[in-house]
């Protein structure tokens, strides 16, 4: 029987970062439309959730400093200090989480984001009088990470991730390649293959989001250009191939680039230096900081295409590619096999394969010459993909798993 109440554990739920705010808002609102009373639990921050989602923000009112800020202050020790702080926060949070869970009467649990060590320890001692599911947003438990500290942690986290798989009733990943990577990394014997399902990374239904036409969106952002506009949206991270993007942009005079989002393990100062090194010059415009959901339409509306490029070893889904669907914008995808498969299967953009500046330059040349008939046909394909992978579809799958 489907539950009428759900508690979601997501430590950074109230921090102003793109994933936490867009993912939990989208999934939470879709679950409420299915009749579920949704509660979100996390560390206090500046973020919030719309009614009827019920918020449980605990601890001190904290703004989590970006990883790039830790690096700039502490050098090589920055990643260690940043990661240690996250782990310490989660150990404390799990104690408060148990208290809130009991107060709500022990509803089913969804672990939406977590640290593997602390969650595994919690599950080892937690009672099992309720169903519990989790979502793995990243399945690379190996050394293929931009940061050596992150790589070491993810490799050492393998047994803890395996214990999480053992303990939960269902685990979700966002694409078939992520599922295979999870098995390869933490469950080669596939003891838990029956527990792991592919759950589309949702996005708003295209008929339920307000959109702006290109001209109005560009006026709102102060972008006065007749060139094509490329959007790099979301948290700045080292796996997003910024050097490759800037090098291709320097060779593509018909394009301008908008970079919008908060700093992660890359800072805007680094991007400014990269802009000068590659000669991209004045055709790069930067909008630092968290972009609230209500402002997404300006950035996606202004764009002719949206970048979704990652290092080839990455095995996580692109939230930006999903948002692009809601605003009927094509993506330029590269890196993870699942992104190439998405573009090939839906026709919702272009694939950069092989992943290098020369191929991206070719794709930008082709995309700039898409005529109106081609654009209309692509928008129809994007619309179909968006409906199939909407938040409502994702919520129905989660609810079915929680109902047993």
Q: 310-363, pLDDT tens digit by residue?
A: 998 888 888 899 899 999 999 999 998 899 999 999 999 999 999 999 999 999
Predicted local confidence at residue 153, as pLDDT: 85
Predicted local confidence at residue 78, as pLDDT: 59
Predicted local confidence at residue 114, as pLDDT: 85
pLDDT less than 70: residues of the chain: 1-2, 17-20, 60-72, 74-91, 146, 404
Three-state SS across the chain? CCCCEEEEECCCCCCCCHHHHHHHHHHHHHHHHCCCEEEEEEECCCCCCCCCCEEEEECCCCCCCCHHHHHHHHHHHHHHHHHHHHHHHHHHHHHHHHHHHHHCCCCCEEECCCCHHHHHHHHHHCCCCCCEEEECCECCCCCCCCCHHHHHHHHHCHHHHHHHHHHCCEEEECCHHHHHHHHHHHCCCCCCHHHEEECCCCCCCCCCCCCCCHHHHHHHHCCCCCCEEEEEECCECHHHCHHHHHHHHHCCCCEEEEEEECECCCCHHHHHHHHHHHCCHHHEEEEECCCCHHHHHHHHHHCCEEEEECCCCCCECCHHHHHHHHCCCCEEEECCHHHHHHHHHHCCEEECCCCCHHHHHHHHHHHHCCCHHHHHHHHHHHHHHHHHCCHHHHHHHHHHHHHC
Q: What is the pLDDT of residues 51-91, one digit of tens each?
A: 999 999 987 655 556 666 666 676 665 565 656 666 666 66
Predicted TM-score (pTM) of this structure: 0.84
Predicted local confidence at residue 79, as pLDDT: 64
């Amino acid at each position: 029987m489907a539950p009428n109440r759900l508690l979601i554990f997501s430590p950074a739920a109230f921090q102003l970062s793109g994933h936490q705010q867009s993912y939990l808002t989208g999934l939470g609102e879709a679950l409420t439309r299915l009749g579920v009373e949704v509660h979100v639990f996390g560390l206090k921050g500046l973020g919030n959730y719309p009614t009827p989602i019920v918020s449980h923000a605990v601890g001190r009112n904290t703004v989590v400093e970006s990883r790039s800020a830790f690096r700039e202050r502490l050098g090589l020790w920055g990643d260690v200090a940043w990661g240690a702080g996250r782990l310490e926060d989660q150990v404390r949070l799990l104690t408060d989480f148990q208290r809130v869970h009991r107060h709500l009467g022990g509803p089913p649990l969804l672990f939406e984001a977590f640290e593997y060590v602390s969650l595994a320890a919690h599950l080892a001692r937690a009672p099992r009088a309720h169903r519990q599911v989790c979502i793995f947003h990243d399945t690379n438990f190996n050394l293929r990470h931009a940061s050596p500290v992150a790589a070491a942690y993810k490799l050492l986290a393998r047994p803890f991730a395996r214990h999480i798989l053992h303990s939960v009733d269902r685990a979700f990943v966002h694409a078939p390649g992520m599922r295979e990577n999870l098995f390869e990394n933490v469950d080669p014997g596939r003891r838990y293959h029956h527990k792991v399902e592919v759950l589309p990374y949702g996005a708003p239904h295209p008929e339920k989001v307000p959109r702006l036409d290109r001209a109005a969106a560009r006026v709102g952002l102060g972008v006065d250009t007749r060139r094509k506009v490329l959007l790099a949206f979301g948290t700045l991270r080292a796996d997003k191939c910024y050097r490759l993007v800037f090098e291709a942009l320097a060779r593509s005079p018909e394009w301008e680039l908008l970079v919008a989002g908060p700093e992660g393990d890359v800072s805007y100062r680094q991007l400014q230096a990269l802009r000068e090194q590659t000669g991209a010059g004045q055709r790069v415009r930067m909008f630092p900081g968290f972009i609230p959901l209500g402002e997404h339409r300006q950035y996606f509306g202004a764009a002719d295409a949206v970048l979704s490029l990652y290092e080839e070893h990455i095995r996580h889904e692109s939230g930006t590619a999903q948002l692009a669907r809601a605003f009927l914008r094509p993506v330029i995808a590269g890196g993870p096999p699942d992104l190439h498969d998405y573009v090939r299967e839906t026709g919702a953009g272009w694939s950069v394969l092989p992943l290098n500046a020369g191929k991206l330059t070719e794709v930008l040349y082709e995309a700039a010459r898409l005529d109106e008939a081609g654009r209309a046909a692509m928008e129809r394909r994007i619309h179909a993909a968006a409906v199939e992978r909407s938040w409502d579809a994702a919520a129905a799958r989660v609810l079915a798993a929680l109902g047993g």
